[in-house]
Amino acid sequence: MFKQTVLLTGAAGFIGSNFVRYLFDKYPDYRIVVYDALTYAGSLDNIPRKIRDSERFEFVYGSVCNGAQVMAAMRDATIVVHFAAETHVTRSIYDAADFLQTDVIGTANMVGAAHDAPHLERFIHISTSEVYGSIRPGLDTMDEDHPLEPCSPYASAKAGADRIVYSYWKTYGLPAVIVRPFNNYGPRQHLEKVIPRFITSALRDEPLTVHGDGLASRDWVHVDDTARALDLIMHAPLGAVVGEVFNVATGIDTSISEIADLVLELMNKPKSLLSSIGQRPGQVDKHLGDARKIRNLLGWFPTVTLSDGLERTIAWYSTHQDFWERMLWMRKIKIRTAAGTEFH
Ligand SMILES: NC(=O)c1ccc[n+]([C@@H]2O[C@H](COP(=O)([O-])OP(=O)(O)OC[C@H]3O[C@@H](n4cnc5c(N)ncnc54)[C@H](O)[C@@H]3O)[C@@H](O)[C@H]2O)c1
């Protein structure tokens, strides 16, 4: 009856829930199954009632850390998109255990179950650009062959997961594809991440705090562009993508300070709201992606400019206080290092 059954882990979170909306609207003959442990980062409210009530949609409450549960959830799946992870760098600095458990062991459970799943055609693993660490001196951009030099426990857990998936393709021929998105932003991103934090701080006329000098730069990708990239990877001929790694990046880097300035400018707020806090340990200096591979092979390129994307994201947070007001306590959390530096 359904053309595909797509199992999406972690899709009650930011990127996954945006992708669920995209898939639901574009592919009416697909069944969508979300498998999520609903941690502090996930909420079923991120998936609209129209989708949740549809007979094409199913939610399975479960953890990727539970191998038996994962195996059961994968029984009917033809495509898996594995988003589930602990994702916040700062949290990984004060408690790496959850990251190793969910990101590494959870991914090992996923590929182990995928290997035995009777109908599986494709396994798409959502890795991250964080696995590269900072750009190697002398290089202009980071392509898929850039060395993996993860700087934080989050990044190293994701690097482990990335390579576990690769090894299942190499060893067992699992039809796996690895995707390394650069920094995503857009609606429904948790307040612990920098762009929603800046926007909601500005909305409340509270300080926008940057780590250290604010010069650390990132390649910012709007979540809608990531959804289009995942769509292309999901539907490309398998032979063109299997065993491959794809960056999803714009090729433009913008510093955290510049992001803060842009947010203030777009929201007509004074620069005096800018303030700084201690440098975060394990900070990546510069991230700048090379997306020529996905452009040349699959025709993907980013369509949302940073200023347009920020404007849209500001508009969303301005009208969705219900989403973020419950997360405001996050702002109060600061970590103090042994040397007395504070960061969040
Ligand atoms: N946000 C970014 O900028 C970015 C960039 C590159 C890659 N990624 C990767 O994309 C994926 C999604 O990121 P996000 O920003 O949407 O994350 P998120 O933190 O918003 O959501 C994570 C989701 O995973 C779920 N989850 C956590 N532990 C789980 C477990 N044990 N079992 C099942 N579900 C569990 C949570 O409940 C939540 O719904 C992650 O793998 C992340 O590493 C994110």
Pick from 320, 311, 330: nearest CA to 48: 320
Check which CATH number belongs to the domain holding 128 and give it: 3.40.50.720
Query: How remote is the CA of residue 220 from the centroid of ligand 1, in Å?
Result: 17
Contact 234, 227 (CB under 8 A): no
What rounded mean pLDDT belongs to the chain?
94
Per-residue pLDDT tens digits for 244-274: 999 999 999 999 999 999 999 999 999 999 9
Proportion of the chain above pLDDT 90, given as a percent: 87
| Model confidence at 14: pLDDT above 90 | yes
For residue 285, report the distance from its CA to the centre of ligand 1, in Å: 23
For residue 236, tell me if it sits in a domain: yes
d(CA 25, CA 47): 12
> Is the Cβ–Cβ distance between 84 and 64 less than 8 Å?
yes
Q: Can you give the pLDDT at residue 331?
A: 67
Q: What is the pLDDT of residues 268-317, one digit of tens each?
A: 999 999 998 877 777 788 999 999 999 999 999 999 999 999 999 999 99
Decide if 212 is inside a domain: no
How many domains is the chain partitioned into structurally? 1
Protein residue with its CA nearest to atom 22 in ligand 1: 13
Which residue range(s) make up the domain with 79? 4-189+220-252+286-304
Indicate the pTM of the whole model.
0.96
Q: pLDDT digit string (tens) for 171-208?
A: 999 999 999 999 999 999 999 899 999 999 999 999 99
**Cβ of residue 82 lying under 6 Å from some atom of ligand 1:** no
CB 15 within 8 A of CB 22: no
113 assigned to some structural domain: yes
Q: Do the domain assignments include residue 309?
A: no
With respect to residue 41, please indicate whether it lies within any of the assigned structural domains. Answer: yes
Q: Whose CA is nearest to atom 31 of ligand 1?
A: 63
From 33, 63, 87, 142, give the residue whose CB has the most ligand 1 atoms within 8 Å, as the site to mutate.
87
Res 335 pLDDT > 80: no
On the question of pLDDT at 341 being above 70, the answer is no
Residue 204 lies in a domain: no
Q: Is 15 in the pocket of ligand 1 (CB under 6 A)?
A: yes
Ligand 1 atom 11: residue of nearest CA: 83
